[in-house]
Chain A
Amino acid sequence: MRALVTSVYVFLYTPIALIVLFSFNAGRNASEFTGFSTEWYGKALSNAFLMDALQNSLVVGLVSATLATLFGTMAALGLERVGPRMRAIFDALFAAAIVVPGVVIGIATLVALVQVFGIANGALAAIWPGDAPPKLALGFGSIIAAHGMFTMALVTMIVKARIASLGRDIVEASSDLYATPMTTFWQIVLPQILPSVLAGFLLAFTFSFDDFIIAFFVAGSKTTLPIYVFASIRRGVTPEINAIASMVLVASLILILSARLLMRDGRNTATT
């Protein structure tokens, strides 16, 4: 059994380890290591298209994760105060956001936004006094909206689980001691849920940073890092892609390990 488990770990890590190894390969072959070189990293880092895509991914990731964390945490707190029917509706919507395949979220958002933009642009053109009315189009806004919708559901789930494990005694004790609801929130509730909020933020960012399929539909003329990598792969496998892939791997590794460290205290399951 031990041997089987060991081989599964080897299976999980060998391909990514080889990608990192061959990103330092001087030659172009995937099976022969012909010498150590950091040439491909230099090429990748001086590639203007790649840097532009990276910057776009960082902006989309930071904005969508921030909004998702803020609204998702607020929703998790607010759902403690609503009636059972309202809570059931929200639970169903959050669950739907998580189980609906990314490809469907991308398509549905594309279809709806193109329709809405068509109407809005027509109206804008009609009422705009100048010659060149502003035009709404797919871009940062639509990627942020779609990523944030999904990751907000993720954040709410994580924070809600933490709130549920808190118990109400501590909040009641605080109000028995004449703390105002605001004081109770800042001094009792927030410090307790903060690790899960931060973990939610990191997972939201990681998701947005790694997502290909939703952005592929709603990015319009913008290119995110996964879209750039995908397009490069279709043009042909090169060691430069290995270098980019290695850097993406290291970035995700740092993010996910931070999230796990944050979530380690005070959680009883290891589902994420």
Chain B
Amino acid sequence: MALTQATRKKLVTLALVGPAGLWLGLFLVLPFIAMVVFSFGRRAPEGGYQAAFTFEQFANLGSRAAAFANTLMLAPVGALACLLIAYPVAYYLAVKAAPRHRLLLVSLVVVPFWTSLLVRTYAWMYLLGARGIPHLLELIGIENVRLINTPMAVLLGIVYGYLPLMIMPIYVSLEKLDRRLLEASADLGAKPVSTFFGITLPLSLPGVMTGLALVTILLLGEYLIPQLLGGGKVFFIGNALVDLFLQSRNWPFGSAIAVTLVVVVVIVLTIAMRIAWRFAGTRQVDLV
């Protein structure tokens, strides 16, 4: 049987996107549905899941208020701390750095992000731990300094882990900036400070928002940094989830928390995209 041209074209398209669609369906959509179903269930006596339709898991979210409070506080604070350090670096790379050094300097920023977060967090655990900086301080007579397992240690780990991810989008938006605007502003007698606040900063806001959104979203689901540098004292939603799934085996309650986390992520993302679109005047804001 001869296939018509149109049918053949459709079959080829199906063969191309079919595997990806199937994979997304089986391992993204289906698991997500299962998780939502679980969140309305009950914990079986031996742990795991018992079918039910109840809102009691969501009603119980308050019992993990500390984890939500820590996460919702430290994620935006961490992202803002990253921004404060990242902006000058991105500005330097895009505007001030000599073009022949730019590629190397940018690579040096990107590379840490793609090396193991576990190893990079471990590095701080090592440095802040009893045998690290506190030991050095003891040698010069300052004793009993505790650095690890404090909120500051977690914040430091956050800035260290996510600074590269904040620098990149800001760098990209500053690099696209039309230099002639800056020259025009200077020619018209604007001081460098007013050029910065009048032109550079507003035009780089889409990059700033992308960076803030990316870092905040990743931090909302963070587990390793609070676990290793907060030592159970600075507990994030991610830590609560690991605890509920792998230790106390309360899967329905864990699912309810995970569903809530996704809702928070979606809200943060929507707000960030709205603001970015307003400033960019376009919907073309790359998130990746």
Contact = CB atoms under 8 A, between A and B. Distances in A.
Given A19-B119, A72-B20, A103 B221 contact: yes
A5 B88 contact: yes
Contacts, number: 262
Contact of A111 (B125, B251, B287): B251
A245 B111 contact: no
Given A75-B16, A252-B116, A103 B242 contact: yes
B122 interface: yes
Interface string A65-109: 000001110110111011000100010011111111111110111
Contacts of B123: 15-16, 18-19, 245
A100 B265 contact: yes
Interface string A106-150: 011111111100000000000000000000000000000110110
A233 B21 CA distance: 39
Contacts of A5: 88-89, 92-93
B24 A81 contact: no
A101 B120 contact: no
Interface in A3-35: 4-5, 8-9, 11-13, 15-16, 18-19, 22, 28-31
Given A30-B127, A99-B265, A108 B17 contact: no
B99 to A, nearest CB: 13
B258 interface: yes
Nearest to B288: A157
Nearest to A70: B19
A222 interface: no
A97 B251 CA distance: 22
Contacts of A30: 126-127, 129, 131-132, 135
Contacts of B287: 95, 98-99
Given A19-B122, A111-B35, A256 B258 contact: no
Interface in B108-132: 108-112, 114-120, 122-127, 129, 131-132
B4 interface: no
A229 B96 contact: no
Given A78-B13, A98-B287, A111 B34 contact: yes
A152 B19 CA distance: 11
Interface stretch (A43-51, A189-197, A212-220): A212-220
Nearest to A239: B126
B168 interface: yes
Given A12-B164, A29-B135, A249-B119, A103 B241 contact: yes
A242 B126 contact: yes
A221 interface: no
B21 A90 contact: yes
A52 interface: no
A62 interface: no
B108 A9 contact: yes
A259 to B, nearest CB: 8
Contact of A99 (B217, B242, B254): B217
A19 to B, nearest CB: 5
A210 B26 CA distance: 24
Contacts of B133: 31
B72 interface: no
Interface of B: 9, 12-13, 15-17, 19-21, 23-24, 26-35, 38, 48-49, 85, 88-89, 91-93, 96, 103, 106-112, 114-120, 122-127, 129, 131-133, 135-136, 139, 160, 163-164, 168-169, 171-172, 175, 217-218, 220-221, 223-224, 228, 237-238, 241-242, 245-246, 251, 254-255, 258, 261-262, 265, 269, 286-288
Given A108-B35, A210-B117, 4 more contacts: A2-B92, A4-B92, A112-B30, A112-B31
Nearest 8 interchain pairs by C-beta: A101-B221, A78-B16, A108-B31, A75-B20, A15-B123, A78-B17, A112-B34, A112-B31
8 contacts: A13-B108, A75-B17, A90-B17, A104-B221, A154-B288, A210-B116, A212-B223, A217-B246
